[in-house]
Amino acid sequence: MTTDNLVIINGGLYNDIKRALKQWIDLYSDNLQDNLSFEFYKHGLGNYIIKVDKKLDNERFYYLINYLNYPEGIDYKIDIEGFTTVKGQKELENKQILVYIPANDKEGGNVYAVTSDNETFKIDFGGKVIRVRDNKSYRVPDIRRLSDPEIFRVNKSRVADIKEEISKFNLEKRFRIISLIALGLLIVSLLTILINSHTFFKANFFVGLGLGVWFFGDYKMLQVDKYYFYCFLIAITFFGYGLFIKKQFSNSTLKLTDLGSLYPISLLIVQKPLRLIYKLFLKREPVVDRPPPTFWDFVYSILLFLAFAVLPFVIMDNLK
């Protein structure tokens, strides 16, 4: 068996090591070649070997060693060593190395490597390679009489399906929670009529503002037709509610507090056609993040913000 991209683990339970390996594969699947293989062997009591596909580059091999030593949500203590040949790294080019993590490591975001010449280097994940002193010596692993392995492969479509299902679940959960919060705030605002009408209108203004901020910030929710429809129903209902309470408790003059009922609906009537135009020309969904990933995402975000922050004033001016 070749020692390139070979991982040897002492300690831990088989199922825990396997779970950590599968977690890493899923975590990095977007940056891994599809169908990349990982052969997982038992090698005696409490000893395990992972033969990693040779196509895995050095950087991600280091990430794998680090993650298996510090897995998320799994509590174990292991000794781990990785064996590979360095390619494309100036200080270690073409050297055979043993990759490890010292028992006294406190940083977490790095690995150590000792070469076949017994020179030791610290490799941090910011790209720095620093020569250090350590008592670790290079060795050639003795791998014999291995049983049949359990094989795991990178499956981008499977991981994408899992992520999509998780995203849908989180979206539905978030929508229900925020909807209940919005309903609760609306009920609280209704109770303020017991204080005075001025407080009542201010409370409804902030409820409308909050709905608009929710719609603007949760842009991925609006990219799902079902949730856009739900949000539109919420917005149009709140707009109608705003007109009703104004007629019942105020005069016909539009005031600043009337903006509250306009914020949600003004955002939504612009978001839908703007998003469809964006998709028509750029063939993908827009992204509203900071910083925006592209110039056109920045333009989209600005236009959406103007629909939320400026359009209500324009509507008010035309209704006066």
Give pLDDT, residue 276. 94
Rounded to two decimals, the pTM is 0.60
> C-alpha dihedral over 207, 208, 210, 214, to 10 degrees?
140
Q: Say yes or no to pLDDT of 168 above 80.
A: no
Would you give the end-to-end CA distance of the chain in angstroms? 82
Give pLDDT, residue 172. 86
The Cα–Cα gap between 89 and 243 comes to 67
Position 59 confidence tier, pLDDT thresholds 50, 70, 90 = very high
Domain ranges of the chain: 6-154, 161-319
Q: Using one digit for the tens of pLDDT, what is the confidence trace for 201-250?
A: 778 788 888 888 898 888 888 988 999 999 999 999 888 887 777 776 65
Position 261 confidence tier, pLDDT thresholds 50, 70, 90 = confident
Position 106 confidence tier, pLDDT thresholds 50, 70, 90 = confident
Give pLDDT, residue 198. 72
Give pLDDT, residue 14. 92
Q: Say yes or no to pLDDT of 159 above 90.
A: no
Give pLDDT, residue 254. 52
> How much of the chain exceeds pLDDT 90, in percent?
37
Q: Say yes or no to pLDDT of 253 above 70.
A: no
Q: Which of 163-177, 199-213, 245-259 has the lowest mean pLDDT?
A: 245-259
Cβ contact 129:123 at 8 Å = yes
What residues have CB less than 8 Å from 91, skipping those under 6 apart?
Answer: 121, 129, 131
What residues have CB less than 8 Å from 63, skipping those under 6 apart?
Answer: 24, 28, 125
Q: Say yes or no to pLDDT of 319 above 80.
A: no
The Cα–Cα gap between 153 and 224 comes to 31
CA distances from 73 to 16, 49, 70, 127, 186 (A): 10, 21, 9, 27, 39
Task: Compute the C-alpha angle 212/213/217, nearest 5°.
Answer: 120
Give pLDDT, residue 41. 92
DSSP-assigned beta bridge partners for residue 6:
51, 83
Q: Say yes or no to pLDDT of 271 above 90.
A: yes
Give pLDDT, residue 269. 93
Cβ contact 217:272 at 8 Å = no
